[in-house]
Amino acid sequence: MADTRTNDRAVARSLWSFVGLIVALICLPFSIAFADSPLQGNHPVSGHGIDELLDDDRSLMGGQMLKQGRIPAGAMRPCISTAAQVRLLDLAPLVPVPTLCVGSTVSADATGWGGYEALGDHERSVGNWSEAEQAYVRAIELLERTAVKDYNQDLAALLNKLGITRYTQKDFSGAEAAYRKALKIYTSTQGAEDLRVGDTLHLLAMVLFEQPHGRDLAGALFFRAWAIREKVLGPYHLAVAESLQRMALSLYRDDLSKAVPLLLQAMEIRERSNGHAHPSVAETLTVIAGLYEAHHRQDLAIPLYQEALTIQEKVFGPNATETIQVRNSLHMAHREKGSPNEESKGQE
């Protein structure tokens, strides 16, 4: 009886070794095929036109482009249990069945990049911009450990959020760096006509406009963002209005004949969506008035400031910061004209 058990164990060990060899042969070609198979999303494509507007870092485009889908926090490539192959041979394993993982990514900490992104979103929602920036930086650090970082749209979205926090804190050079990285990812994975490309171009143009070296380029990017947004969203979307207003101020600030029609078009879109008595309409009225003032046309600026002030008083009340800002601009326009109204005399 003892000899029989010994023989059974020896046979089982031999069979198990044989199964292990078969499993290895099965898993090896599967892992190679998986690595070469493109997944849906985040596929590199060729961009058109954007690179010509930017000082491109070509090192990002070097090498073979990886094709990979979205990678959630702490994600792993598929793990394959050998139990299925063992069952095919109708052999009960004598030891616990191992699991073979194909190409595991670097593991993140317990929070994961998604957790840090959520933390950043929360801090941003309550106005804690510095804390939001720190959370987004940590999320980006974790996500950049993946092999597909140069083509990962989650990373691009995080970079845009980081850029917004830096822009709000007036760190324009830091915001510019984040937006440029996001733009490269989106143009590589989505193409030059994608809405995310347009939105990122708009954000990048905003920070360039705030820096002396970027003023000339900002206008071209605002124009490109407007073209993409209008094509994708239609001519009456609020994002199109924002692009028109920015484009007018950056490209045609010295030419009223071109700037004012664009601003009036932006105001028409905002009125169409929000009604006339809306702060966004008051904003455009104030922008047009300021442009007239810059060209020493206080006679045209004053009625627009007055109209904007009426809206702000109705929406925010007479003592709100937004209302006071417009009122001060109106008073200044009257002073520059040389005939301040009675209200401004009383204020003085």
Return the percentage of the chain with pLDDT > 90, whole number. 60
pLDDT at position 148: 82
193-202, 283-292, 337-346, range with the lowest pLDDT? 337-346
Cα–Cα distance, 170 to 207 (Å, whole number): 9
Name the more confident of 83 and 316. Answer: 316
End-to-end CA distance of the chain: 114
> What pLDDT, on a 0 to 100 scale, did the predictor assign at position 53?
52
Q: Tell whether the model's pLDDT for residue 112 goes beyond 70.
A: yes
pTM, entire model = 0.67
Q: By the 8 A CB rule, do 115 and 158 touch?
A: no
- Bridge partners (DSSP) of residue 80 are 100
Separation CA 276–CA 290 (nearest Å) = 19
**Is the pLDDT reported for residue 105 higher than 70?**
no
Residue-wise pLDDT tens digits, 165-218: 999 999 999 999 999 999 999 999 998 899 999 999 999 999 999 999 898 899
| Residue 345 binned pLDDT confidence (cut-offs 50, 70, 90) | very low
> Mean pLDDT, the chain, as a whole number?
76
pLDDT of residue 265: 98
Q: Is the pLDDT of residue 286 over 70?
A: yes
The Cβ of residue 133 has, within 10 Å, a number of other Cβ atoms equal to 24
The predicted structure's pLDDT at residue 7: 54
- pLDDT score at 154: 94
The one-letter amino acid code at 185 reads I
List, as own/partner pairs, every contact residues 209-217 make where C-beta atoms lie below 8 angstroms and the sequence separation is at least 24, other chains included.
209/246, 209/250, 210/170, 210/172, 211/172, 211/173, 211/176, 214/176, 215/250, 217/53, 217/54
Q: Residue 114's pLDDT is what? A: 93
What local confidence, expressed as pLDDT, does residue 80 receive? 31
* Span 215-268, pLDDT tens digits: 889 999 999 999 999 999 999 999 999 999 999 999 999 999 999 999 999 999
Report the alpha-carbon distance of residue 258 to residue 249 in Å, rounded.
10
Tokens of 30: 């599967």
